[in-house]
Amino acid sequence: MRKFLFVILIFLLTLQSSFAQKCPEWLGNAVMYQIYPSTYKDSDGDGIGDLSGIISKLDYIESLGVNAIWLNPVYESGWFDGGYDVIDFYKVDPRFGTNDDLVRLVTEAHKRGIKVCLDLVAGHTSDKCEWFKRSMSEGREDKYADYYIWTDTISANEHKLLDIRMSSSDPNVDKHGHFVEVNSTRGKYYRKNYYMCQPALNYGYAHPDPSQPWEQSVNAPGPQAVRRELRNIMRFWFTKGVDGFRVDMASSLVKNDPGKVETMKLWKEMRTWIDKEFPQCIIISEWGDPQKAISAGFDVDLMLRGGVNVIAPLMYNGDTPWGEYDNIKHGYFEKDGMGSIKGCMTRYSAAYDSTRNIGYMGFATANHDYQRLNIGDRNTPDQLKVALTFFMTMPGLPIIYYGDEIGLKYKYGLPNKEGSRTDRAGTRTPMQWDNDENAGFSSCDPKAIYLPVDTDGGKITVASEDKDPESVLNYVRKLVSLRKSSSALGNKGSWEMVGSLDKPYPMIYKRTSGNESYIVALNPSGKTVSAVIPVNSEMATLYGTGKVRVKDGKSGNKITMGPVSAVILKVE
């Protein structure tokens, strides 16, 4: 019996090890940097960022210690939704340059050991896309006839939502409902995926309704042709050196798919194909449910404001747009010290335990849709450093949203810009390089700049922070360096919450790999707090911010943390 159990144990360990090797090895040591191309660096003075501008800043990106970048969509677009309404997936938008410029970016990045990932808008196109135009007008025999979902009838409720949308210019209203009326020989209505100008690509229905013949099965010719097109798009860019894709709305492809069963099958199919033809390339999902996404074959699933709901209770507050949306009155990383971690870290722990051997969860400091770290009352360098310590010491893939490494502000009250709406515009403002006009982002007339800058009197720029050893920028560089120097602090190191979930300040967790262990303690509150770390070994302070004192005790080490402080302790 013992021999049988031993064999089973060895089998499980071998299986677990093989799961861990599914992802390309480079991802195990990756730190990613997200760039919104329109607002990173403008090289030609038109007020909009471009690929040549990004190339000119690759040495700076390398100086952060990151080894991968993710670009928001650079394809030709209608620019109603910040590039997510794609006209041509095989062509770089002229505002950014050319396909050759993208290849040059990839080549120059690779020289510096930096991987390049693109955004893949898999679920829809722009209504200006040639595929859609042909599907709409060329009839049922055209190649693209069933690339989209068409019907001549919709429900009364859909009619009501359609009428509301047509009478409003608010982009938020534009999102509601599923169908859009159009003058077409192919059908009277098409199904959209988000905004009305974004017709959903037809990956089929998991459970087609026989009374609705336009609901095609996932195995029908149209949905299968769309799958082939999706592979063609990825192959086109993979063969040009691109290292991976972040997939927008990854769970939205197959319709009427309870539990996302058929959508998961689709991505498993893509994963098998990628592993066979491009084994060093990755796919990252915007899904928010790592147990489904990673099981479906994604290397990384991004922690979103929704899904397993980890980020929102930590980072959002009642006086910010997203805190209001999600009814969160007190975020954990606020100075009032009234936040909670019990629910979100319990959910995180369950997701981590179920996926740690097959892929990674991605923690982003912010992104193009959601608020920055520097927002509302969380606006001082010490507060930002505490939050950044969290992001740079959790397992999985850390992602720095451009500008967060210098504490770029979220700007309230900006107008809708290319689908940003007023809530998202404030997180898409230009990168601030120096104290020249337009903060060094562009040589354009300030009236022509994509969105306004705010350097806080010259304090929040790369140039000013680069020469300040105590700046947020140099703090981030040190955190990235520490993470990459330690397997325990890195992407694969194990994680365990060792502090009290019921007494959330300070938050204390342990990172371990082999004989190497670290304790991370965080106190974002404005008051002094203390706790007992259940570790009897001696601990040495490695890095941090604020005042922290550790004292040996019989039942562990007592830690006392001053207001707004963080520390990384090495267990000796």
The owner of tokens 């490494």 is 405
Q: From the CB of residue 219, how many other CB atoms can be counted at a distance below 10 Å?
A: 9
Q: What are the structural domains of the chain?
A: 15-122+224-483 (3.20.20.80), 130-202 (3.90.400.10), 494-571 (2.60.40.1180)
Q: What Rg value do the Cα atoms of the chain yield, rounded?
A: 24
Burial of 209 (0-12, 13-18, 19+ CB in 10 A): exposed
pLDDT at site 174? 82
Give whole-number Cα distances, 409 to 314, 322, 545, in Å: 18, 15, 21
pLDDT at site 370? 93
pLDDT at site 1? 46
Q: At what angle do helices 221-238 and 261-277 cross, to 10 degrees?
A: 40
The residue type found at 463 is A
| Per-run averaged pLDDT (10 residues), the chain, 572 residues | 44 41 88 98 98 98 98 98 98 98 98 98 98 89 93 92 84 86 92 95 97 95 98 98 98 97 98 98 97 97 88 92 88 96 96 96 96 96 98 98 98 93 94 97 97 96 98 98 97 97 98 97 98 92 97 86 98 92
Look at residues 303, 299, 269 and name the one whose alpha carbon lies nearest to residue 289: 303
pLDDT at site 536? 86
Q: How many CA atoms lie within 13 A of 297 on its CB side?
A: 21
Look at residues 400, 372, 396 and name the one whose alpha carbon lies nearest to residue 64: 400
Give backbone dihedrals phi and psi of 515, rounded to 5 degrees, phi first. Answer: -90, 5
Taking 3-state DSSP, the helix, strand and coil percentages for the chain, each rounded to the nearest 5, stand at 35, 20, 45
pLDDT at site 306? 78
pLDDT at site 556? 82
Structure tokens at 8: 């089973």
Helix (H, G, I), strand (E, B) or coil at 364: strand
pTM recorded for the entire structure: 0.94
pLDDT at site 92? 98
Q: How far apart are CA 13 and CA 474, in angstroms?
A: 40
The residue type found at 38 is S
Give whole-number Cα distances, 71 to 36, 125, 231, 283, 528, in Å: 6, 18, 19, 13, 40
